[in-house]
Structure 1
Amino acid sequence: MSDLPFGFSGNDPDRDDDDKSRGTGKGGDQPGGSGDPNPFAFGFDPSQLGAMGADFDPSNLNPEMIGQLFSQLGTMFSAMGAGGGTSSSGGPVNYELAKQIARQEIGDFTPVLDTETRAVADAVHLAETWLDDASALPSGVTTAVAWTPVQWLEESLPTWATLCDPLARQLSQAWSQGLPAEAAAMAGPLMGMMGQLSGSVFGSQLGQGLGKLATEVLTGTDIGLPLAPAGTAVLLPQAIAAFADGLDLPAQEIIVYLAAREAAHVRLFTHVTWLRQRLLSSVEQYASGITVDLSGLSDSFGEGIDPEELMANPGRIEELLGSAASFEPTTTPEQRAALDRLETLLALVEGWVEHVVTRALGDRIPATAALTETVRRRRASGGPAEQTFATLVGLELRPRRVREATALWDRLLEASDVTTRDRIWDHPDLLPDGEDLDAPAAFIDRFVAGDDGDPLEALKQVLADEERAGEADRPDPEGKDTGGGDTNQSS
């Protein structure tokens, strides 16, 4: 729709010249410009190969020559680091490259107007007032802002780094761990080069994904994770205008509905202090078990990769690193379990938000039911959240799980009240798991009126017993073991 209220506006031709004057286009030397057609900025100087450059014969290689070749390649690519082959922070992902590519993907964008910032604040304030009646958790919003896609990119990148570093680091280490012993002994410098290139490859993939995501996300928590600073509710007017344009619904209701979803997410992540770390640790648990099958790379070399070609064309090694046939991460049962836990937790978060927003807005916003179904279909059709998780984490947030999670929250409220329902977030051990989503009745009975009494009190008793046991085993300041053990025994 083009009649967005609260100051929201779609593509305004009157702002085109002003946008260009601010450098929001792709061209020239602006941050979003096309720049170097080769974002990896690889260059090659044959003189870097030293004496091997003139008389090199790939058909007459021996172990000594291979070792020298690896050493020369390692030196050459180390010198390329300043051109984009490594992360400026020395980490496993080149985030500067990711940011550059994402900025190019975003292209032109519409600056946020003051009227849009005020509109966001008004919509969030109204939504927060209504959410107070639907949740026992108090408001978590301290600031409501409107962001451009570029602001979303810059503000969310630190969280993406937290998510991606464990994965990229483990993949990089898997190279050296997966090589045969003889090859690994000779390939030290080459492995360093591959580590640099893998950081660029991962950064390139991340940048492409985030660039597309930045133009599609509607709010700061649209993918289910808190990407904005704590207490900050974010709406993105440009994406909301495009989203509303395809709906035959009142634009004012669309904005308030999205503001309510954002405020509900912020409320949950603010007051459930363990939730964010729980989500991130699930990704780390998945990453810790990554192994890489190097058979594809070995086959490629076995089929006759020309070492001279690798020296003359570093992009060929980049192709090997970026090829799915070169290395394929394998999924262990432990990783699958970690992904299942993450998927279930994300579904519980999304289901709670959908449930609470429906209760808060259902009698006040006529379009609530239609917008809820629209969001569900957007998710089911492989929206930005699913694509990003599938690419970077290997996880798809299945719509079936979200529907089941929403149904569980609905039935739990029917069997209890708002306060009891939200007490489930008091501790992670109280949350339902995947089996509970399949059979919610048993979970609800156990939680609301279990045979063993109040499960919340039972959990608190277990935690108190564990704390007392820990204190009993802790030596006192005078060196006495209050647990009765040997004080000379090292801890």
Structure 2
Amino acid sequence: MRNFGFGSNDENDDRDDNGNENNGNNNDPFGFGANPFGFLFGGQDGQGGFGQPGQGGQQGPGIGDILGQFGAMLSGFGRDMNSPDAQGPVNYALAGRIARQQISGAAARNPSSHDSQAVAESVRLAELWLDESTVLPAGATGSVAFSAEKWLEETMPRWRRIIDPLASKLGDATLDGLPEEAREQLGPMTGMLSQINGMNFGMQLGHALGELAKEVAISTQWGIPLADSTVAAVATARLDDLSKKLGAERRETLIYLAAREAAHLRLFQHVPWLVERLILDVEEFATGLSLDNSALEEATREFDPESMGDPQKMQEMMERLQNQDLAPKIVSSTDHARIRLETSLSLVEGWVDYVVGEALGNRLPTTASIQAAWSVFRDSDQPGMSALARTVGIDLSAPKANQAAELWSRLTFAVGKERRDAVWNHPDFLPVDSDLDSPAEFIDSILGETEGKDFDPISEIEKLERELNKGEDDSSDGDSDGDDADK
């Protein structure tokens, strides 16, 4: 797989599989607008008829046009069904198509050479400043400005690693939720249901990834390197929008993003176990996933067949059901894995918050306000991550990043940056969830270890022996001087 920026952009990046312009239609996975059958009535707005002029003065499609468009729709549907990316618990061919169709406006713009140069300069500057706030050396091997579509391309392999175990377990849970008689009657059609589940997940995931692609600002934005790359990547198309949200100038926003990206890569490159640990937490969480259908079951129990003959009661029942959320809830018996993942992501984001704040604080006067605005953005302004959570039951948010930043700050004050960064040497050394709420005990334990390392019992014994021997020597010298005087 190419790293960010290595390899030319496809000249037809903004076209779909049929070579048509991609206009970013959010509700059009097959390229036929909001109503895929609108062409049967003389256009997508349903006006006109077979061979008759529509109200807008346009000639309606003939039967050949109708069959051609219908065949094109089925062809696209068939490609998504038969693509190698359609195999497994998620139809990634469909997910990718839907995600790409949501990218429009500024997010669809490809970066210029000027953008790439600005990112390179900002990363170089950030690396120099970060050297003073962490002992971890630089981890970025290059830099690049990237587009939303490029981000989708580069991150899809890791998304598959993260999503597959979750979708697979939820797909099994969907089939397990069917009555036993229904499962027996399905028999060989179970495979078809699995494909339907795969397409369902593909559609939902596509919408979530499309939202995330429009929100992404740096490749490590969610505390995990979604792109398998050591290149510091910044989405320059997001700078204007983010500058407004962060209350900063465009140049300041770019430097801040470059510093966050560079800090993440230092951590991921020099803490080799970290990325795998995060993904294993997702996989462990997936093993306990199931669907809670209690809301639907409760509504079914309240259903009275006799009310079907009474329009008034039927209307009341429909209004009551309309106000209820009857969708299955995703639950997990391994929720401890989710908590551990959230804690790890919070520790990553909190560490980045602190070292970036230290690196930029004396050099960029607006750093404190940018940090505060970024925290709000991270916690409440990312609908794509919320959509992902609704789809597969877990997101990559860092809910205690602020507490983690405070822990790293206090730990640095207590033991210094060298001992602070040494906490990343092994997963067992890291704080746990409760430490983020009450960090004093964890900091005391690290402080005790540091003080204990200053005490070397062998060295102290040898020092005591030298002092004793010196005392004896001094005593002997005194006695000798006295004897000489007597003589």
1:330 is matched with 331
Report 1:173-192 matches (<5 A): 173-192=172-191
Contact 1:23 1:30 in 2 (8 A): no
Report the alpha carbon displacement of residue 99 of structure 1 after superposing the two structures with TM.
Answer: 0.7
1:235 is matched with 234
Report 1:14-29 matches (<5 A): 24=14, 29=20
Identity %: 39
Report 1:95-110 matches (<5 A): 95-108=92-105, 109-110=108-109
Could you state the TM-score of these two structures normalised by the residue count of structure 2? Answer: 0.70
Contact 1:379 1:385 in 2 (8 A): no
Deviations 1:327-347 (A, max 9, x none): 443332x2x211110111110
Kindly tell me the number of residue pairs found equivalent between the two proteins: 380
Q: 1:267–1:410: structure 2 CA closer, same or farther, 3 Å change rule?
A: same
Contact 2:208 2:384 in 1 (8 A): no
Higher mean Cα deviation, 210-219 or 405-414? 210-219
Report 1:161-180 matches (<5 A): 161-180=160-179
Report the alpha carbon displacement of residue 249 of structure 1 after superposing the two structures with TM.
Answer: 2.6
Contact 1:175 1:191 in 2 (8 A): no
Where does structure 1 lack aligned partners over 5 or more consecutive residues?
1-18, 43-78, 305-322, 456-491
Deviations 1:388-425 (A, max 9, x none): 55334434667761111001000000001111000010
2:56 is matched with none
Equivalent AA in structure 1 for residue 174 of structure 2: W
Distance 1:169 1:217 in 2: 26
Contact 1:347 1:397 in 2 (8 A): no
Distance 2:33 2:251 in 1: 44
- Correspondence 1:37 to 2:32: yes
- Determine helix, strand or coil for the equivalent of 1:292: strand
Report the alpha carbon displacement of residue 178 of structure 1 after superposing the two structures with TM.
Answer: 3.6
Contact 2:210 2:384 in 1 (8 A): no
**From 64, 84, 88, the counterpart of 2:84:** 88
Q: 1:230–1:247: structure 2 CA closer, same or farther, 3 Å change rule?
A: closer
Q: 1:447–1:207: structure 2 CA closer, same or farther, 3 Å change rule?
A: same
Distance 1:249 1:284 in 2: 39
Equivalent AA in structure 1 for residue 125 of structure 2: L
Equivalent AA in structure 1 for residue 348 of structure 2: V
2:416 is matched with 417
1:440 is matched with 439
Contact 2:222 2:396 in 1 (8 A): no
Distance 1:396 1:107 in 2: 24
Could you state the TM-score of these two structures normalised by the residue count of structure 1? Answer: 0.70
Distance 1:436 1:245 in 2: 35
Deviations 1:41-93 (A, max 9, x none): 99xxxxxxxxxxxxxxxxxxxxxxxxxxxxxxxxxxxx998353466242110
1:139 is matched with 138
Q: 1:132–1:191: structure 2 CA closer, same or farther, 3 Å change rule?
A: same
1:391 is matched with 390
2:220 is matched with 221
Report the alpha carbon displacement of residue 31 of structure 1 after superposing the two structures with TM.
Answer: 5.2
Distance 1:184 1:40 in 2: 34
Distance 1:265 1:39 in 2: 40
> Which one has a bigger Cα radius of gyration?
2
- Determine helix, strand or coil for the equivalent of 2:400: helix
Q: 1:454–1:297: structure 2 CA closer, same or farther, 3 Å change rule?
A: farther
Distance 1:245 1:355 in 2: 23
Higher mean Cα deviation, 397-406 or 189-198? 397-406
Q: 1:210–1:398: structure 2 CA closer, same or farther, 3 Å change rule?
A: closer
Q: 1:202–1:303: structure 2 CA closer, same or farther, 3 Å change rule?
A: farther
- Determine helix, strand or coil for the equivalent of 2:137: coil
Report 1:70-469 matches (<5 A): 82-85=78-81, 88-89=84-85, 90-108=87-105, 109-246=108-245, 248-293=247-292, 296=296, 325=326, 327-332=328-333, 334=334, 336-384=335-383, 386-395=385-394, 401-450=400-449, 453=452
Higher mean Cα deviation, 429-438 or 224-233? 224-233
Q: CA RMSD in A?
A: 3.4
Contact 1:224 1:350 in 2 (8 A): yes
